[in-house]
Amino acid sequence: MPVNASADAASPTADADDAATLPINEVFYSLQGEGTLAGVPSVFVRTSGCNLRCWFCDSYHTSWEPTHGAMTLDDIVADIESHGEADHVVLTGGEPLIHEQSVALLERLDGLGYHTTVETNGTIYRDAPIDLASISPKLASSTPTPEKDPKGDGEWAERHEERRIDIDALADLVDTYDSQLKFVVTGEDDLPEIEDLLERVRNAAATTVADSDVLLMPEGTTREQLDGSRNRVADLAIEYGYRYTPRLHVDLWNDAPGT
Ligand SMILES: C[S@@+](CC[C@H](N)C(=O)[O-])C[C@H]1O[C@@H](n2cnc3c(N)ncnc32)[C@H](O)[C@@H]1O
Ligand SMILES: Nc1nc2[nH]cc(C(=O)O)c2c(=O)[nH]1
Ligand code: SF4
Ligand SMILES: [Mg+2]
């Protein structure tokens, strides 16, 4: 139950949204594993479907092979409320902001007093009650080239490359919401692109983007993979003056489902 929840806090639009649904891959209760809120108990709502295809996507069944059931917003909210200790909700995916109904869900959660984080690739702006926009812009190293494609022979590479950066959407997100920019780092070659992208976002945005809101996160979906990547990324954070974020859930539970 959120700390400031009250019995009459339901959104005034709740009736209109009764029939609204979202494609949901999973809902689970865990610790936020990434970013400035790492360690905070949170309910995760994972929508299905994505406009990008990162070769390394750790949520394969929301992007490369989307699987889901349609859940009504009422059922999603009831599932969240069943985790009575939680007052933080993380809306993720897939890409949650491709779905118009994500806004209605965030409005319901805001009305109920939850703190909301949205994990987004930063290619789409929507106006919604978001307490933390956790933006993870995708670098060239994410592109599913024929050699890296986990499913086909690079059929998605061109579309991914065209879509992965939208400076206006990034600027609108950082101007509107408290935000963090969380980059998946595969090696030191990613850093010049991060610096260039930050300069473009800083030029386009009215808000100051502090280096302390720029996070470097090691690529890896298992403990073994992170054993080979986390120290190099930590060294890069020290060298460039950005923040390091662990993947706490992977360190704690490896790649177990529902964590
Ligand atoms: C599955 S994505 C869903 C949200 C949104 N589509 C995005 O990419 O930000 C959730 C987070 O996991 C990160 N991620 C995905 N695969 C990863 C991997 N193999 N290693 C490290 N981080 C990864 C993404 O960059 C993002 O920050
Ligand atoms: N524990 C945990 N923390 C997370 N933070 C962001 C996640 C995501 O997949 O968006 C995630 C996740 O999948 N699990
Ligand atoms: S943008 Fe996010 S969900 Fe989509 S493929 Fe990349 S990591 Fe996966
Ligand atoms: Mg994850």
In a domain, 193, yes or no: yes
In a domain, 259, yes or no: no
List pocket residues of ligand 3, CB cut-off 6 Å.
50, 52-54, 57, 59, 62-63, 93-95, 121, 138
Mean pLDDT in residue range 124-135: 98
Q: For residue 211, is pLDDT > 60?
A: yes
| CA 86–ligand 1 middle distance (angstroms) | 22
| Integer Cα distance of 34 and 23 in angstroms | 23
Taking only the tens place, the pLDDT of each residue in 2-55 is 644 443 333 444 445 557 999 999 999 999 999 999 999 999 999 999 999 999
213 touches ligand 1 (CB under 6 Å): no
| Integer Cα distance of 99 and 104 in angstroms | 10
| Integer Cα distance of 121 and 198 in angstroms | 15
Q: For residue 186, is pLDDT > 50?
A: yes
In a domain, 258, yes or no: no
Its domain, for residue 112, covers 3-253
pLDDT at 15: 47
CATH number at residue 199: 3.20.20.70
pLDDT at 16: 52
| CA 58–ligand 4 middle distance (angstroms) | 6
List pocket residues of ligand 2, CB cut-off 6 Å.
30-34, 44, 59, 90, 92, 119, 249, 259
* Most distant pair of Cα atoms in the chain: their distance: 54
pLDDT at 17: 53
Q: What total of structural domains would you count in the chain?
A: 1
| CA 55–ligand 2 middle distance (angstroms) | 18
pLDDT at 11: 40
Sign of the dihedral through C-alpha 37, 40, 45, 48: positive
pLDDT at 19: 76
pTM of the model: 0.95
Taking only the tens place, the pLDDT of each residue in 60-78 is 999 999 999 999 999 999 9
In a domain, 7, yes or no: yes
Looking at all shown ligands, the one closest to residue 31's CA atom is: 2
Nearest residue (CA) to ligand 3, atom 3: 94
Nearest residue (CA) to ligand 1, atom 20: 219
For 44, 174, 178, 189, the CA distances from 245, given in Å and listed in that order, are 19, 19, 17, 18
Nearest to 37 by CA among 85, 101, 71, 87: 87
Nearest to 171 by CA among 209, 130, 138, 136: 209
In a domain, 51, yes or no: yes
In a domain, 45, yes or no: yes
Label residue 67 exposed, middle or buried (CB < 10 Å: 0-12, 13-18, 19+). exposed
58 is in an annotated binding site: yes
pLDDT at 12: 42
In a domain, 145, yes or no: yes
pLDDT at 43: 98
Decide if 201 contacts 168 (C-beta within 8 A).
no
ipTM greater than 0.90: yes
Mean pLDDT in residue range 169-188: 98
In a domain, 242, yes or no: yes
Taking only the tens place, the pLDDT of each residue in 232-245 is 999 999 999 999 99
Taking only the tens place, the pLDDT of each residue in 63-121 is 999 999 999 999 999 999 999 999 999 999 999 999 999 999 999 999 999 999 999 99
